[in-house]
Amino acid sequence: MNKTPNRGRTAQNDPEIYLDHAATSFPKPKGVIKEVAWALEVLTSPGRGHSRGALQAAATLESARNKAARFFGVADPTRLVFTKSATESLNVVLKGFLKRGDRVVTTSMEHNAVARPLSRLAATRDVQVIRVPCSADGSLDGDAFRRALDPPPSLAVLVHASNVNGALVAGSEVLALCRAHGVPVLLDAAQTAGLLPIDVTEHDLGMLACSGHKGLLGPPGVGLLYIRPDVQVEPLIEGGTGSRSEEWVQPRHMPDCFESGTPNVPGIAGVCAGLEHLASIGGDAVGARELDLARYAAENLEGIPGVRVYRPAVRGGNAVSFTVKGMSPVDVAMILAASGIAVRAGLHCAPWAHQTLGTYPEGTVRLSPGWCTTQADVDAALRAVDALILRRRRRIRGREKTS
């Protein structure tokens, strides 16, 4: 990739350039939109009737489950559960697996979807939370992590890659350490599912949580949760499952144990279509290109005077965080939005990570390319950042002349 993009103003009437894929993928592939619309028009409630719509809904649900299982290397598709979000998937495990007095190891780069449940469990169940520090670039302190595994804790809950700066936190070596110590891992793959290859069997993951609307290109409202056969998790929500309705207690068999209530079949159908789209365009190549664009953005942002980039030692996600000297991240994001560049600013629901990077409490500006981002899109963002800094300097010089 060319590392010296041409810079200039972004026209106000240009179409918006979306660079917030770490929040959600946009736009969705046309096949995803079509599949969701079809499901809304045709499908009813699976497992709760024998009508054509109900039977088609059940078939759609199982087809999506089988496809997602193959995508993540899950041998038994019934071990893959659909939830409403990665956040719910994480909560299901943390609140259904950890018992009073348990020890859990985590990192200082975790999202609030992990930090907040652990804080509650520490207060209500006396769960001992061991938060292993990461360095200022987001990489995990390997020695501290080894010490935290002795004696082996009940669980390690680890973010695969940071949603703030894209740092790879739980790489293969970290997962191997947990495996060697017999510690089950709950991997938060919200930022990496669809971006990096993930095989639960290869890494012997205890549990995997991810969302369907980011790298998997589906609509919002669907999460995925894998639970290894030997891992016992109590359900967070109980109710109607369409199975064993004569029993007054929650079914224990998978996946029904964790799928109470009417599932979001249109959303699940959309995730299935997203997986099909990834397969059709070469998912691994798309993920690699996203990471290349993130590196390209970080390298060129560093070349703009007044910009500080919080680059990871090893990149595993598409998030690029930066700040502009003398400006709040929110102001920068608002100016970029006015220039037609969609980014995100603040703490990104990850205050632990920002404390680690030294960007708390204001946070950073986060730019994150996605499946349809081009180098021209990133170049436009670079021009817009360059232009806003130039305008600010001119205003400062103007004030100095009049003072």
The helix/strand/coil state of 200 is: coil
Same domain, 264 and 315: no
* Structural domains in the chain (count): 2
Same domain, 343 and 300: yes
Q: Look up the pTM and report it.
A: 0.94
258 found inside a domain: yes
1 found inside a domain: no
Same domain, 288 and 380: yes
303 found inside a domain: yes
User: Residue 307 forms beta bridges with which residues?
Assistant: 324
The helix/strand/coil state of 233 is: coil
Picking from 83, 48, 397, 88, the residue whose alpha carbon sits closest to that of residue 243 is 48
Same domain, 270 and 378: no
Residue 132 burial (10 A CB sphere; 0-12, 13-18, 19+): buried
Domain end call among 230, 259, 281:
281
Q: Is 134 a catalytic residue?
A: no
Same domain, 126 and 257: yes
Instruction: List the CATH number of the domain containing 151.
Output: 3.40.640.10
What pLDDT shows up at residue 400? Answer: 65
Domain end call among 281, 296, 317:
281
User: Residue 187 forms beta bridges with which residues?
Assistant: 158, 208
Same domain, 389 and 297: yes
What does the alpha-carbon distance between residue 313 and residue 166 come to, in Å, rounded to a whole number? Answer: 10
What pLDDT shows up at residue 243? Answer: 74
Instruction: List the CATH number of the domain containing 351.
Output: 3.90.1150.10
pLDDT along the chain (403 residues), means of 10: 41 78 99 99 88 95 98 98 99 99 99 99 99 97 96 99 99 97 99 98 98 99 99 93 78 92 97 98 95 99 98 98 98 98 99 99 99 98 97 79 66
Same domain, 34 and 23: no
Domain end call among 281, 297, 312:
281
Exposed e or buried b per residue across 359-394, where buried means at least 16 C-beta atoms within 10 angstroms of its C-beta:
beeebbbbbbbbbbbebebbbbbbbbbbbbbeebee
Q: Which of 134, 210, 272, 349 is catalytic?
A: 349
What does the alpha-carbon distance between residue 170 and residue 157 come to, in Å, rounded to a whole number? Answer: 10
Contact 105, 151 (CB under 8 A): no
What pLDDT shows up at residue 190? Answer: 99
What pLDDT shows up at residue 138? Answer: 97
Same domain, 111 and 194: yes
Same domain, 140 and 202: yes
Same domain, 242 and 132: yes
163 found inside a domain: yes
Where in 298-385 does DSSP place strands (E)?
Answer: 307-309, 320-324, 341-342, 344-346, 364-367
Same domain, 191 and 304: no
Same domain, 311 and 197: no
Return all residues near 180 (Cβ < 8 A) that are at least 6 apart: none
What pLDDT shows up at residue 403? Answer: 63
Range of the domain at 202: 30-281
